[in-house]
Structure 1
């Protein structure tokens, strides 16, 4: 039987929920459980800095965790590195500090005030000073995909028909159209987040674990044994609903 792999959906600054699901994982798989986090650690929730600090420290201490990059993590990275507040894959006129994206909450978690009418240079200077080097190094090192014999773990999804080694980062962190409606067998189960649902759902070729923690619903973790999957709860493993 394959070694169990645990996966966690989009966190969005919900440090309290991250601690809760990590406790569920440890109860099911022990302290050395293999965990893949699917990205979007920041924005919308109140403790983005705390989430990054927790994950960066876990990496430093050698936890058996894979932390993938989400589009919101890339927003933070790109703002610090290049003062960028708009992603080409976002609709025109929607900027990172807009509450709908939640960059204002991320900056607040670092003690920096930011809103859509802020002086960009001033906010950037304050952010560069406030965001620790360890957080910047963490963001710069996030991979976009983790592949096992049975699973393709990624933030948003993959472009059907494109070999894994040729997948584009834009698709891996942003794709919806062309992926969500596709029912192709990719040879492995795709495990992703990015598109918020009311509840994690399994489909014929993928599992979406984004249950809307960024909209103050619960964060979710699942355990995979081969392609079989269950959600974790206080009552133990539960079946994933099918969509």
Structure 2
């Protein structure tokens, strides 16, 4: 048995350099904490100005980096309506801004589509706070389907057709160079185009234990970390804003990550 152990195949490692096709800021899960957004955006502006000055001094050309939000804008915190309105305004003012879908946006949309079936579950995951932020009260968890449909109709009116359409159009994944950005994680055995919606929004059992073999880095939220850091091709940015008061961004550029807690 000891002889066999000596010749056991080595565990896979990850050594691919971080090589996005463009620099970008990845922003972690906001979860209804709009009050944290001004401070974070101010810190991003400071980094942006510094990077522009340095880049122009070296290259004589402007520098730019888009904002990429990793999803979970609603639930948990009390300001989901304000967060959704702020993100849509950011995209209007800065069209390169990208907002991905998170599993909490998915649950909101499921409530709109099947309120009696999906409503009680969404309430348990923070939907109660989201509805309250729009001035709508849900029925009791055991209420009949027609009461959930009435609540859905009130919420849909308060949400507004433009915001519902915006939510339904949120993409699940974005890639630049050898970096993909998703909400929850990715199956390390599948290429980006073959990832399931459930994996991208809820995660995969092998994501944190098995490094990818295709050299792709995965930037993600969903799982709260106390101190974000690159590890084995994974780059988490969710620092639990609703529980810790810390909303984190990461400036990701070739060979370098700069966190903004």
**Scaled by the length of structure 2, what TM-score is found?**
0.79
Matched, 1:122 2:150: yes
- 106, 110, 114: which one pairs with 1:78? 110
What's the secondary structure of 2:181's corresponding residue? strand
Structure 1 residues not aligned, in runs of 5+: 88-93, 234-243
Structure 2 residues not aligned, in runs of 5+: 1-18, 53-63
Separation in 2, partners of 1:154, 1:227: 20
CA drift at 1:85: 5.4
Once superposed, what is the RMSD of the aligned Cα atoms?
2.2
What's the secondary structure of 1:97's corresponding residue? helix
Aligned to 1:211: 239
**Scaled by the length of structure 1, what TM-score is found?**
0.85
Matched, 1:160 2:188: yes
- 130, 141, 146: which one pairs with 1:106? 130
Separation in 2, partners of 1:13, 1:198: 19
- Over 4 Å off, 4+ runs: none
Give CA deviations for 1:168-200 in whole Å, capped at 9, x if unaligned: 111001014111112224422110010112232
What's the secondary structure of 1:230's corresponding residue? strand
Aligned to 1:44: 76
Aligned to 1:200: 228
Q: Which moved more, 1:54-63 or 1:162-171?
A: 54-63
Which of structures 1 and 2 has the bigger CA Rg? Answer: 2
Number of positions where the alignment pairs a residue of Structure 1 with one of Structure 2: 225
Matched, 1:25 2:51: no
Contact residue 151 and residue 227 of structure 1 kept, 8 A: no
What's the secondary structure of 1:229's corresponding residue? strand
* Higher helix proportion: 2
Question: Which aligned pairs between 1:175-186 and structure 2 lie closer than 5 A?
Answer: 175-186=203-214
- 2, 11, 23: which one pairs with 1:4? 23
